[in-house]
Amino acid sequence: MPNRPDSGRAAPVVVTRPLQQAQAFASRVEALGRQAEIFPLLAIEPVDDPSELQAVLGRLEDFALAVFVSPNAIDAAFRCLGAWPAGVPIGIVGEGSRAALRAHGVDERNAVIFAPQGDGKMDSEELLKALPLARLRGGRVLVVRGQSGRDFLTEALQEQGVTVEHVTAYRRLAPALDERNRARLLALADHGADWVVTSSEALRNLIEMTRLAGGDDRVVKLQRQRIIVSHHRIAQTAQSLGFCAVILAGSGDERLLAALQSSP
């Protein structure tokens, strides 16, 4: 059974997104009547030298498609951009990225945007199915990402005769485990919480931070708590890390919030 608060009240909901994206979702959690705790499990930092990113974005017209792997990639790129060139289509893999584009003034009215279709998985495999591969063959695709990433889309596009170029737009780091974060993490482990996690890397950071903060006993307490995730690969990671109450909600804030409402 998942750990629940001793008082019988609903568990706090821990929003683990990077700080740049956490507050908006936390506000929606609060609107459901749940207590939201912002505890980022990834820190997003700019690249040390943005000159490469600036140079690549300065020749966007060379590409038949630009793919952004995350909202963070979009935000980092648009710090170096003015208006998006209308002739360059965009590929995204989640609703968070669509919202990030909209925040920068880009939507279907002024850009061609390819994204996974339907209500199923939102990932690079589904994006590939939505892309006009025949039109991309022989062309160049730009992938804007963190310092590393999954290679599925790159390999699949290359097999279709597409040249793929990558550019690093930001760095992902584990948050510092200072005294304040250590105390908050131990309190959450001891008293119980529902954790909303949208990254496998973040889950691995959570286990390692908990082990450093409180040892294996605290890790065991954490593994009994409820983990609400946005993708089947994150669910698999959670299960491999020993979590026993994993809820696969699906991509997008609406699905995550619906899972919270159905799991008070």
**Given this model, what pLDDT does residue 264 score?**
61
CB neighbours (10 Å) of residue 234?
21
The domain boundary, picked from 127, 149, 172, lies at 172
Query: Which are the contacts of 117, defined by CB distance < 8 A and separation ≥ 6?
Result: 126, 129, 130
> Does residue 2 lie within any of the structural domains?
no
> Does residue 27 lie within any of the structural domains?
yes
CA dihedral 75, 79, 83, 84 (to 10 degrees): -50
The whole domain housing 236 covers 13-42+176-262
72 vs 253: CA distance, rounded Å: 16
Regions of the chain with pLDDT less than 50: none
pLDDT digits (tens, 9 = 90+) for 198-228: 999 999 999 999 999 999 999 999 999 999 9
> Does residue 7 lie within any of the structural domains?
no
The domain boundary, picked from 153, 172, 191, lies at 172
Count: domains in the chain:
2
pLDDT digits (tens, 9 = 90+) for 29-64: 999 999 999 999 999 999 999 999 999 999 999 999
The rounded mean pLDDT for the chain is 91
Indicate whether this model's pTM tops 0.75: yes
**Given this model, what pLDDT does residue 139 score?**
96
The domain spanning residue 96 has which CATH number? 3.40.50.10090
The domain boundary, picked from 110, 144, 172, lies at 172
